[in-house]
A and B are shown apart, each in its own frame.
Chain A
Amino acid sequence: MAVVPQVAAQSTSEGSPSAPTARVRLAVNGVRHELDLDTRQSLLDVLREDLGLTGTKKGCNQGACGACTILLNGRRVVSCLTLAAMHDGATVETIEGLEKNGELHPLQSAFVEHDGLQCGFCTPGQIMSAVGCIAEGHAGSPDDIRFWMSGNICRCGAYPGIVAAVADAAKRV
């Protein structure tokens, strides 16, 4: 049975007051932001709709596809299921922050070289997840990579290229 988040008909109804806000300080790709946020906002929506960082994608908004994967305090998380208000003071890294001085991150180059992408929509999430995967020490073998990258769906089916790219980049980072 599907468990679908349904916010409906809980406490909203009669003349709800304006939603509570919270002051949240975030360092995103090295840039500090101080934001007054609706406490219901996911980190994903804050990145995409408030900060204009649309590289991070919304694939399902259900935590099931991995397209919105970012690094939060160095750990990979699905930003659609992460409430921004709970992470005051956090450090966030997104796909836009990987390239340094015009140089692609080894994972970015490897994804192009090994054709670890087709439509490209899951790619930012795959790459951010792969940064985490390698840092965790989970990129030692193709089997390891397949297992630890399985939270990131690629509907085009570029998995062989993704595994090759992560294995290749793991040797370079």
Chain B
Amino acid sequence: MTMAIIGRPLARVDGRAKVTGAARYAADFNQPGQAYAVIVSATVGLGRVTGMDSAAIEKMPGILAVLSHLNAPRLAYGQHKSYIDPATGERLHVLQDERIRFHGQPVAVVVATTIAQAERAAAALRVSYNAERPVVDSAGPEARPIVPEAGRQPDARLPADKARGDADRALAESPVKVDETYDIARENHNPMEPHATIASWNGDRLTLWSKSQFVVNEQAEIAAIFGLPLENVTVICPFIGGAFGTSLRTWPHVTLAAMAAQHVRRPVKLVLTRKQMFFTTGHRPRTVQRIALGATADGKLTSVVHEGTGETSRYEEFMEALTSVTTFLYSCPNVRTRYRLVPVDTGTPNHMRGPGEASGVFALECAMDELAYKLRLDPIDLRRRNEPAIDEGENKPFSSRSLMRCYDLGAEHFGWARRTPEPRSMRDGRLLVGMGVASASYPAFHAPATARARLLPDGTAEVEIAASDMGPGTYTSMTQVAAETLGLPVERVRFSLGRSDYPPAPSHGGSWTMASVGSAIRAACIAVREEAAKGRTDRPIEATASSQRDPQAAERFSMHSFGAVFVEIAVDPDVGTIRVRRAVGAYGIGRVVNPRLARSQCTGGMVGGIGMALMERTVLDARDGRPVNAHMADYLMPVNLDILQLEAHFVEEADPHVNQLGVKGLGEIALVGIAPAIANAVFHATGKRVRALPIRIEDVLTA
């Protein structure tokens, strides 16, 4: 008999640790005798280091070492590539040569006894360069798009080209057309916690207290870089201060911390500055996308063309799911997608919450809104007329799809019926009011995972897996899964994560943690329960078990979450300020393990989407690739005053195919769809169609 613990809105089990300051993040693991390392970042955007006045620095008080390509050890840099690394290209090898590939690349690391000494010396280090002018504008005249290597095969996970029917011909013959270009600025993740690593060597064994969404991969990568056996490296990360994708990969600072600690023979703490968070730890790539839609006069899609390019670095081909959703979101016989990359002289981008989907769906959903206006149809009605019976891109049924039920539920909570469709037709005093909608979608992924469960004679249980919790509430939701499966109250289950010596978990991203880690925990707890049922014992009962998705189900079905997002904005016509007054999201995400945390995660994703739509933009200086707003006051993000009423609702959705728990994940979809709903609301309020993000005051003032 199981107690219904899954589905209960429990408060966070780690809440007390987080409100008392007891939760320890990477930089909180101070070690005895610890020294401090500060990275010196290149101040040119391309070229070579020609000289470095380390001698002057080494005389400063407390300085233990100045490491650069001139004296750093040549590291093994053995082969290592995970699925979160770009398939094509090679990661940055740090301090191995004099070449500068992008502004902010590490050129030296200064190690000192105290943090103040290290900061002072790093700031004073004089570095000379032979500088060249970098190309950093991925849409400028020097941009050269390439076909991504890993997308060349038609059966690639992210195919560069995919088509059904003849979309171009159908477009030419369509009576109603929309053909527009959408430009989304580069964004930086900017989690509250900066990247940090404390490295400590004991002989040839290395312990890293390091911010990571993927501790087993960080272990493997650092072992490969230093030429160590895997078991010699341990990565520990019990808490992550937000990440949104930036800590999926192991970036150069982790190597530098380990290198510095080895050199000075002491534990070393290295924390990136906020400015450095804009250099070497990835970003959502700028994208430029063309969407062309053709339709019949009664609103049936006849053609969809989606051509998108994303920026990448010169040394790695970062790919994301920019055009994927377009192939299955709506029913249409003629669809053509094209995905290209533009290498520029910057660091490699990486996944940022809703990677690919958030950008691609923005373009598609804005275009759908434009089409609805051309057809004089309600935008929800347009979507209803194009609701597919199956995934027409894969020619498979959906394991579950609740998009129209999401629209119904969301419309009811939002009060969509009150909207008058004409632009500038709704006002509140002198303010222009706009209401917009958009669809959201994200795949229901799953990856193999292994967990260990242990039932102790005192009737408590311990569960371990090398998973992570960057804020969604993994600690809590996994405790719920374990407690319910073991038939124990929540208080009797101790769940631990964030150590590379626990059984392996996949990366903490892609909204697959609940599905993958949860299923593994369930499997381990079932094994323990079955063993315990055999009879009483005074010894602990331990089981390790793995889980993966039923391969037949994966073959048969197309698996995605869907959602409908509604937004109401108010625009001040005199000063152009845009305020999101309300947002309502309705989601079909399978089973909801903890409604309290699920709602919180969804509204948090909305806040991220508001940032994407109205604020976030990393601006690069065209002369040297310098991010000019690499500061938390200049890279605008939503603050408390920007956020008013946010609501998330879930439709009942039982999906027996996705995984044993029936969960689809929701971290990513929570951000997808917000920006287009806002842009569509801006059009409704002002009559001005803004196709570039972020939407700025000046865009609206010229309306």
Contact = CB atoms under 8 A, between A and B. Distances in A.
Nearest to A8: B123
Contacts of A62: 274, 631-633
Contacts of B24: 54
A156 B631 contact: no
A16 B27 CA distance: 29
A6 to B, nearest CB: 7
A31 interface: no
A95 B20 contact: yes
Contact of B271 (A8, A58, A67, A153): A58
A119 B20 contact: no
A140 to B, nearest CB: 15
Given A15-B59, A119-B471, A157-B604, A112 B192 contact: no
Contact of B115 (A45, A117, A151, A153): A45
Give the residue among B271, B274, B608 with the most A Cβ atoms within 10 A. Answer: B274
A163 B60 contact: no
Interface in B588-621: 596-597, 600-601, 603-608
Contacts of B632: 59-60, 62, 64-65, 153
Interface string B302-334: 000000000000000000000000000000000
Interface stretch (B7-15, B77-85, B91-99, B153-161): B7-15
B133 interface: no
A41 B62 CA distance: 14
B491 to A, nearest CB: 15
Interface string A126-164: 010000000000000000011101111111111111110
B524 to A, nearest CB: 26
Interface in B249-275: 271, 273-275
A107 B565 CA distance: 32
Contacts of B190: 155
Nearest to A105: B19
A65 B597 CA distance: 24
A38 B121 CA distance: 14
A64 B11 CA distance: 30
A48 B242 CA distance: 20
A113 B240 CA distance: 21
A14 B27 CA distance: 32
Interface residues of A, number: 76
Nearest to B634: A2
Contacts of B638: 157, 159
Nearest to B609: A157
Contact of B241 (A15, A55, A121): A121
A93 to B, nearest CB: 12
Question: Do most interface residues of chain A lie in helix, strand or loop, or is the interface mixed?
Answer: loop
Interface stretch (B144-152, B389-397, B640-648): B640-648
A64 B369 CA distance: 37
B43 to A, nearest CB: 10
B14 A120 contact: yes
B60 A16 contact: yes
A173 interface: no
Contacts, number: 216
A115 B600 contact: yes
B215 to A, nearest CB: 16
Contact of A147 (B15, B60, B641): B641
B20 A57 contact: no
A19 B605 CA distance: 46
Interface string B38-56: 0000000000000000001
B470 interface: yes
Interface string B621-639: 0000000111111100111
A118 interface: yes
B285 to A, nearest CB: 19
Contacts of B116: 19, 38, 40-41, 45
Contact of B124 (A9, A104, A145, A146): A9
Interface string A1-25: 1111011110011111111000000
A150 B641 contact: yes
A57 B25 contact: yes
A12 to B, nearest CB: 4
Contacts of A108: 16, 19-20
B27 A58 contact: yes
Contact of B192 (A17, A19, A65, A161): A65
B11 to A, nearest CB: 5
A57 B278 CA distance: 19
B473 interface: yes
A60 B190 CA distance: 10
B20 A98 contact: yes
A153 B192 contact: yes
B21 A2 contact: no
A120 B11 contact: no
Nearest to B627: A2
A42 to B, nearest CB: 9
Q: 4 tightest CB-CB pairs across the interface, nearest first?
A: A55-B21, A157-B607, A121-B241, A120-B18
Interface of B: 11-12, 14-25, 27-28, 30, 56, 59-61, 114-117, 119-121, 123-124, 126, 190-194, 239-244, 271, 273-275, 470-473, 596-597, 600-601, 603-608, 628-634, 637-641, 643, 645-646
21 contacts: A6-B123, A12-B124, A15-B59, A19-B116, A40-B116, A53-B21, A59-B194, A62-B631, A64-B632, A109-B19, A113-B11, A115-B600, A117-B12, A117-B15, A118-B471, A118-B600, A119-B192, A119-B240, A120-B19, A155-B242, A156-B607
Given A18-B61, A95-B20, A109-B19, 18 more contacts: A2-B631, A9-B123, A12-B120, A19-B116, A48-B30, A65-B274, A104-B19, A104-B20, A112-B19, A118-B242, A118-B600, A119-B241, A119-B243, A120-B14, A150-B639, A157-B608, A158-B604, A159-B638
